[in-house]
Amino acid sequence: MAAQKLTKGRLAQIIILMAVLITAFVWRTITYKQGSPENKTVLTCQLSTKSCAVNGQNINLPIAFVSTELKSDTPLQIQIGNTNVKPSAVVEGVKMYMGSIPVIFSENEAGWLGEFSVPACTHDEMEWALKLTQGEGVVHATFVVKK
């Protein structure tokens, strides 16, 4: 395509378009308001084969593994006690992203029993985080799974 001569009409179109774009960018920059962070309090605990009791503002949750040995590619069970509301949780890798694994909860006489399985990793040990939501509270419990 051959270069065309810049006429007064084309120059006016370019100037008007640039003025509209600059105005839009300046307006967006001036009126931008950063979203406020959520008011959720995140409590953390180190969870291994021992239990972890989380006591926060509105949260009092005893968390413990039912499984005695934490190994990859085997079903793991976790017991959440002292709650009438069904919790929701996912398990995610701490240092490596290996997906978000949902925890399936069923009610029992001691509270809620959650079941999940973590995939095998190339490392001998991998640190995982259980992200548990109970009502308005959030708990992050980290644990290590061996290959």
Q: Which two tokens stand for residue 53?
A: 């009791």
Q: What is the pLDDT of residue 94?
A: 87
Residue 85: count other Cβ atoms within 10 Å of its Cβ. Answer: 8
pLDDT at 111: 86
What architecture is domain 42-146?
Sandwich (2.60)
Compare 59 and 4 and report the one with higher pLDDT: 4
pTM: 0.62
- pLDDT for 10-50, tens place per residue? 999 999 999 999 999 999 999 888 765 555 556 677 776 56
Residue located via tokens 């395509």: 1
Where are the chain's structural domains? 42-146
Task: Tell me the per-residue pLDDT of 55-100, one tens digit each, with 9 for 90 and over.
Answer: 665 556 788 888 778 888 888 888 888 667 788 899 998 888 888 9
Q: Tell me: the pLDDT tens digits for 96-124?
A: 888 899 999 998 888 889 999 888 888 88
**48 phi, psi to nearest 5 deg:** -125, -140
Q: How far apart are CA 61 and CA 132, in angstroms?
A: 10
